[in-house]
Amino acid sequence: MKIPKKYKIILYGLLGLFSLYFLLPFVWVILAALKTEAEVFSFPPKIFPDVPQWKNFVDAWNSQPFGTYLKNSVIVTVMTTLGQLISCSLVAYGFARYDFKYKNILFVILLATMMIPWDVTMIPLYMEFNMLGWINTLKPLVVPAFFGSAYYIFLLRQFLMSVPKDLENAARIDGANEFQIFFKIFLPIMKAPLILIAVLNILSVWNDYLGPLIYLQDQSKYTLALGLAAFKGIHDLQILPIMSITLVMIIPPVVIFLFAQKYIVEGISGSIK
Amino acid sequence: MLSKSRKANGYQLVNKKVPYLFILPWIIGFLVFTLGPLIFSLIMSFFDWPITSSPTFVGIENYKTMFTNDPQFYKSLEITLKFAAVFVPLNLVIALILALLITQPLKGIKMFRTIFYLPAVVSGVAISIIWGWIFNSEYGILNYILSLIGIEGPQWLVDPKWAILTIVIASAWGVGTMMLIFYTDIKGIPQELYEAAAIDGAGLFRQFFSITIPCITPTILFNVITSVIAALQQLALVLLLTGGGPLKSTYFYGLYVYNNAFKHHELGYASANAWLMFIVILILTMVIFKSSSTWVFYENEVKRKGKKKK
C-alpha cells in the first residue's frame, strides 16, 4: 500500500511531534549533566554548555558511595535473573508439557496471582523477612526470584505449548529421563523466550525503587535506584551530580534494550494471545 | 489433549510425581510469598496491630474507621480514582495513536518505534528526576518555553491544582509497553481486509473504525484491565515526584497505605486499607470483563491468520 505524499507529511509531522515528547527530556538531562553550575541555573536557560563538563560525572560518582550502590544493584540484578531463568523454565515446562491432576486449577491460580495488588502482601512479607533476619540485606530482593514469577512463567509456557509433542516422546523411547529431556532438548530451543524474560527481569529489578526502599536501611546496602533517590532527597539543589548519576543509571537499561529490542517486540505480543 | 497423544503413543509416565517436581518452585513460592501473606494480611486487618506492642482483635473496627472516621481515606480514594479516570483513557488513546503511526509503511519507522518505547525501560527514579527538572517552576525548561509564547506557566509541582497533572504527564511517558502490544496486534490484521474495504470505497477513518478497532478489541480489554490495576496502585512516582504534596493534593491511595504501614506503624489498619483496594480492583476487573461481552470480538468471529506484511 502506497501512502500519498500529502499524508506522508502529516504522518512524519506527528511522528516528529511525539518524538519531541519522548526524546527531548533525555536530551535535556544530558545537556544539564554537562553544564557548569552557573549555566544550569541561568535564566533564560542556556541550551548548550560552553565547554562540556565531563568531570561532573567523576565528581558526582565520588561524592557518594555510588560504587557500592552499583555493586549491590549488579548483585541483585544478576542473582534474580539467574533465579528467574532456572525456576520459571522448570515451572513453565511442567505446566506446558505434562498432564497432571489439578493442573488447570493451579494454572488459573498462577494467573490470578498477577492481579493481587502488591500492597496487600507488603506488610506480612516485611514481617516474614524481618522474622528471618533478612531486613537490611539483599535477600528479600533476591530470594523470591528463585521461586519464579507468574508473568514470566506464563510467557515461557505459551512458547512451550507451541512445540510439537513428538519431541520428548522420541527422546523417551531412546531412554532419556524427564530431566535430561528438559535440559538437553528443551532448554536449547527456549533461547529466545529465555532472553526475553532475562531482559524483562533485568529492566524491572535494576529500576526497582519500592523493594529496596522497604527492605534496605543502611547506605552500604542501597541499590543505585535507592541511592540516587536518597541523594536527591537530601541534596535537592545539586542538579549537576543528580543529572549525571541519573544518566549513569539509565544507560545500562537503554543499551540492553537497544540490543534486545527484537526479543521484546516479538515476545510481548505473544503473551496475550 | 496431552494425555490423549500420550496414550496414542503407548506412553505412560512412569513416575506421577515428575510434573509436580517441575512446578514445585512455584508452589513453594506461592505458599510462602503470596498465599501466606495474603491470608495473614486479611487476619491482620481485623486487629489493632501497632508495631511496638502486641496486637488486639478489634473485629471490623478498622473497616468502620476507614469509612466513618478517616477523611483522608475518602480523599486518597478520590484522588486515585480521578487519576485513573484520566490516566487510563489518555494512555490508551496515546498508545493506540502511536501504534497506528508505527505500523505505517514509512522510511525510518523502526527508529520511531525505538524512540517511543525508550522511556518504558527507564526507572521511576530517573523519570521523576527528569520530569521534576523539566517542571521546575524556577529553572524548568517547560515554563520557559511557555513564556516564549506568552503563557505564564503554573508552579507545576508546588500548586495543588497542577501537581496531579504533572504525574499524569510523567507517567504517560512510559506508554511504550502498551503501544508495543497494540502494535503487534495491528500488524497481525490481514491486509486483505483493508484492501476489500478500500475497493468497497471505505475511507481511512471508516477502515479504522470498522476493521482495526473490532480486530483489536481483545487487546484493548487486556490493556484497559492492566492499566486500571496499575493506575490504582501508582506509588513510586508519587513518592518520588511530589511525596504526596503539595497540600496532599497527590496523596494517592498507594501512598496512604504505605504511610499508614511504614510511617504511622498501624499495620492492622494499613492491611484493611490494602484489602479494600484489592476488593475494589476485583470488582472493577469483573465489571470490565462482564461489559466486555458486548464490545470484544474474538478471533473465531473475525477470521484472522496473523499474516504479516513486511
Q: What is the pLDDT of residue A252?
A: 95
Q: Which triple of cell numbers denotes residue B231?
A: 493506575
Instruction: Kindly report, residue by residue over B183-240, the tens digit of the pLDDT.
Output: 988 988 888 888 888 888 888 888 888 889 988 998 899 899 999 999 999 999 999 9
- A78-87, A248-257, A264-273: which has the minimum mean pLDDT? A264-273
Return mean pLDDT, chain A. Answer: 91
ipTM: 0.90
Nearest CB to A23: which of B115, B177, B273? B115
Indicate the pLDDT class of residue A129, thresholds 50, 70 and 90.
very high
Search chain A and give the residue with CA nearest B128: A229
Q: Does the pLDDT value for residue B307 go beyond 50?
A: no
> By CB neighbour count within 10 A (0-12 exposed, 13-18 middle, 19+ buried), where does B76 fall?
buried
Chain A residue nearest residue B225, CA to CA: A115
pLDDT, tens digit (0-9, with 9 covering 90-100), for B36-53: 999 999 999 999 998 888
Local structure of residue A6 (DSSP, 8 states) = H
Bridge partners of residue B47, in order along the sequence: B57
> Assign residue A175 a region: left if phi > 0, alpha if psi is -120 to 50, beta otherwise?
left
Residue among B37, B194, B257 minimizing CB distance to A125: B37
Distance between CA A167 and CA A159 in Å, rounded? 14
Looking at the predicted structure, is the pLDDT value of residue A69 above 80? yes
Which residues, numbered 116 to 155 in chain B, qualify as contacts with chain A under a Cβ-Cβ cut-off of 8 Å? 116-119, 121-126, 128-131, 133-134, 138-139, 141, 144
Residue of A nearest to B43 (CA): A124
CB-CB under 8 Å, A228 with B126: yes
Closest residue in A to B25 (Cα–Cα): A147
Domains for chain B: give ranges and CATH numbers. 71-295 (1.10.3720.10)
Say how far apart CA A227 and CA A233 lie, in whole Å.
10
End-to-end CA distance of chain A: 27
Cell 525503587 -> residue: A209
Among A171, A247, A253, A163, CA closest to A206: A253
Name residue, grid cell 529490542: A261
Residue B57 and residue B47 in contact, taking contact as beta carbons nearer than 8 Å: yes
pLDDT at B23: 96
Whether B183 and B113 have beta carbons less than 8 Å apart is answered as yes
Quick one: pLDDT at residue A1? 55
pLDDT digits (tens, 9 = 90+) for B226-273: 999 999 999 999 999 888 888 889 999 999 999 999 999 999 999 999
Range B17-33 average pLDDT? 95
**What percentage of chain B reaches a pLDDT higher than 90?**
57
- pLDDT above 60: residue B303: no
CB contact under 8 A, B2 and A43: no
C-alpha cell at B116: 517511543
pLDDT score at B299 = 61
Q: Residue range A27-55: average pLDDT?
A: 87
Q: Among partner residues A32, A43, A147, which is closest to B25 by beta-carbon distance? A: A147
- Enumerate residues 6+ apart whose C-beta is below 8 A from B227: B87, B88, B91, B92, B178
**The three-state (H, E, C) secondary structure of chain B, written as one string:** CHHHHHHHCCCCCCCCCHHHHHHHHHHHHHHHHHHHHHHHHHHHCCEECECCCCCEECCCHHHHHHHHCCHHHHHHHHHHHHHHHHHHHHHHHHHHHHHHHHCCCCCCHHHHHHHHHHHHHCCHHHHHHHHHHHHCCCCCHHHHHHHHCCCCCCCCCCCHHHHHHHHHHHHHCCCHHHHHHHHHHHHCCCHHHHHHHHHCCCCHHHHHHHHHHHHCHHHHHHHHHHHHHHHHCCCHHHHHHCCCCCCCCCCCHHHHHHHHHHCCCEHHHHHHHHHHHHHHHHHHHHHHHHHHHHHCCCCCCCCCCCCCCC
pLDDT value at position A270? 55
Longest dimension (CA), chain A: 77
Q: What pLDDT, in 10s, does the model give residues A207-256?
A: 999 999 999 999 999 999 999 999 998 888 888 999 999 999 999 999 99
The conformation of residue A101, written as its DSSP 8-state character, comes to T
| Exposure of A51 in the CB half-sphere (CA atoms within 13 A) | 3
Average pLDDT over residues B276-283: 94
| pLDDT at residue B9, as a whole number | 44
pLDDT score recorded for residue B40: 96
Size of interface A-B (CB pairs under 8 A): 264
Over residues A136-143, the mean pLDDT reads 97
Q: In whole angstroms, what is the distance from residue A209 CA to residue A71 CA?
A: 16
Within 13 Å and on the Cβ side, how many CA atoms surround B290?
6
Please provide the size of chain B in residues.
310
Which candidate, B59, B2, B113, places its Cα nearest to that of A264?
A: B113
Percentage of chain A beyond pLDDT 70 is 97
Which residues of chain B are within 8 Å of residue A127 when distances are taken between CB atoms?
40, 267
Q: Diameter of chain B by CA atoms?
A: 81
Go through the domains of chain A in sequence order and give each one's CATH number. Answer: 5-53 (no CATH), 63-270 (1.10.3720.10)
Across the interface, which of A22, A144, A182 has its CB nearest the CB of B115?
A: A22
Which tens digit of pLDDT belongs to each residue from B124-160?
Answer: 999 999 999 999 877 888 888 888 888 888 888 888 8
Q: How far is CA A76 from the centre of its chain?
A: 11
**Separation in Å, CA B174 to CA B34, B96, B121, B202, B229:** 27, 14, 8, 34, 15
